[in-house]
Structure 1
Amino acid sequence: MTDYPLSLAVEDFVPVLLTAGGAALLVPYLAHRAPRAAQRAATGTCLIFAGGLAKAGWKLTVALDGPDLRWLEKALFPCLGVGFALLAHAALTARANPGTPSTRTEEVASRPPPLWAFLAPAAVAGAAAAAVRGTWPLLLLTVAMSALTAVRLIILARADDDIPSAALLGTWLLGMFALGPLASRPDQSVTLQWIEQSCNTLTQAAFAWACARLARRHRRTDAHPKAPFAGSSRRTGTRTERKSTT
């Protein structure tokens, strides 16, 4: 059993809270763009939080010389994989411009893949992990689904001309790719753990910041809705008045 300093174990809760907080902010943001995505986004957020909390709780238990509850540690990637699969599907369901009317062709083209197309890989990864008695299939699932979530959120942010949020999400994406190899190493020293957790904290802080920006922009849009045809109406009215005058 690996020994963890108490400070290391406590710090492990920070990225968990950042990730869960950011994902929670995405729920109303995605629900505004696709109401049917709200439940999947909320469920995915709960699973992501549960997985991170389980791993952090296991590490804290070990640091306090408690029992080695390996099932808590092993719950990380199953929860993250399925959680990000649901969040990715919710993000793909969301429309880039919810206030803009779309044609029938655009609606068909923008339809997301069915939910089973996201849950089936999760089931396959779980079966593969059980077969090889390792977590790497679930790790690959987590990286793939979080990358898909990041790319879709970047597209949504760019559609709103929110370049800073897109950049933050890009940072989160790069950080997730960097964290994968670090987290998958079986024997980790305390120094490597500190490096991994520091990178993880910065990565999840970028994610939480981006989600906060997206949510804040969404609230401002709701508070001050645009009137895209107001200008054209005024111009039309002016032309009508001129015609009636002449």
Structure 2
Amino acid sequence: MEYPISLAVEDFVPVVLTTTGVLLLRRPLASTGVRQGVVVAATLIGTAGFTKATAKLIAATGGPDLPWLRNLLFPLLTLGFGVLCLVAASARIGRVPPWLGYLVPGLTAACALGAILAHDPIPMLLSTTVFATLTGSQLILMARARGDNIAAGLFGTQLLVFFLLGPLASRPDQTVTLQWIEQLCNTAAQAAFLIAAWRLSAATVAAPTDEELIR
């Protein structure tokens, strides 16, 4: 379908919001010595969104369709959220759980093989969904441990919208109106993620001690 330029340009907005939000997580995760992991995750996630939005903008301005550029989305998102969920788990409990250490490379490899065999990157949507869900769950738990239920709710909202947009995006009748709805919902969700990440980064409320939890 033909995209209006305004729709293509708006697609960059959630990319900027998400990437900025991930970068803000460097502060709450810095104590674990994994700051570089957050930067790597932000780079991969940002690049994923940028490639998809750029391909859309090129098509909207009369350029050629570039499926190879569009198809980088899920592989890069898989890698980005895979790194981020490992970092978040390490920050929350002080180490990467063994099951997660096996799951991330194992599922990534399995979905990548499926994508190669199918000549379609869509199998990597599964790994992206799993790792994004694990990341969101870890961030919700971190926010609750710091006493910031608003941030936890915002992270939860972003995760909920992520699941709701899946069925919408898979509809064959992708009209311009429907795509505007999808993109604006995605922008709102990523804005919620950014605010939650900022709150988590700026939080001064210490996590409750064992004695406080017992009381």
The question of a shared fold, defined as TM-score above 0.5 by the shorter chain, is answered with yes
Distance 1:92 1:18 in 2: 22
Q: Deviations over 1:191-243 (max 9, x none)?
A: 221111011111111111100111111xx47xxx99x9xxxxxxxxxxxxxxx
Equivalent residue number for residue 75 of structure 2:
78
Which residue of structure 1 aligns with residue 85 of structure 2? 88
The answer (yes or no) to whether the contact 1:136–1:184 under 8 Å persists in 2 is: no
- Alpha-carbon offset, residue 16 of structure 1: 0.4
Range moving further from structure 2, 62-71 or 125-134: 125-134
Offset at 1:186? 5.5
Cross-structure match for 1:138: 124
- Within 2, Cα distance between the matches of 1:116 and 1:45? 22
Correspondent of 1:161 among 117, 142, 147: 147
State which of 109, 112, 137 in structure 1 corresponds to 2:97: 112
Question: Any residues of structure 2 matched to 1:145-156 within 5 Å, and which?
Answer: 145-156=131-142
Query: Hey, what's the Cα distance between the residues in 1 that align with 2:96 and 2:60?
Result: 47
The residue number in structure 2 matching 1:26 is 25
Q: What is the one-letter code of the residue matched to 2:58?
A: T
Alignment of 1:37-48 (within 5 A): 37-48=34-45
Q: Distance in 2 between matches of 1:216 and 1:162?
A: 11
Matched, 1:172 2:169: no
Is there any run of 5+ residues in structure 2 with no aligned partner, and where?
210-215
Moved more, 165-174 or 20-29: 20-29
C-alpha RMSD over aligned residues: 2.1
> Bigger radius of gyration, 1 or 2?
1
The CA distance in 2 between the partners of 1:53 and 1:117, in whole Å, is 27
Given candidates 110, 123, 127, the residue that maps to 1:124 is 110
Aligned pairs (5 A) from 1:175-214: 175-185=161-171, 188-214=174-200
1:109-140, CA deviations, whole angstroms, 9 ceiling, x for partnerless residues? Answer: x6423645312211211111221233332111
Query: Cα offset for 1:41?
Result: 1.9
Verify the 8 A CA contact 2:21 2:194 in the aligned structure 1. Answer: yes
SS of the counterpart of 2:123? helix
- For structure 1, the residue ranges without an aligned partner over 5 or more in a row are 97-106, 229-246
Q: Distance in 1 between matches of 2:11 and 2:191?
A: 13
Q: Helix, strand or coil: the match of 2:25?
A: helix
Q: Is the 8 A contact 2:86 2:96 kept in 1?
A: no
Q: Percent identity?
A: 46
For this pair of structures, how many residues does the alignment match? 207
TM-score, normalization: structure 2? 0.89
- Aligned residues of 1:44 and 1:84 also touching (Cα < 8 A): yes
CA contact (8 A) 2:5 2:61 kept: yes
Structure 1 145/130 Cα, relative in aligned 2: closer, same or farther at 3 Å? same
Cα distance change, pair 144–169 in 1 and its aligned pair in 2 (3 A): same
- 1:17-44 deviations in Å (ceiling 9; x for gaps): 0110101111232122x11x22222211
Quick check: 1:56 aligned with 2:42? Answer: no
Distance in 1 (CA, whole Å) between partners of 2:80 and 2:121 is 16
In 1, Cα distance between equivalents of 2:174 and 2:117: 24
Question: 1:216 pairs with 202, 208, 213, which one?
Answer: 202
* TM-score of the superposed pair, with normalisation by structure 1: 0.78
State the alpha-carbon separation in 2 of the partners of residues 111 and 57 from structure 1: 35
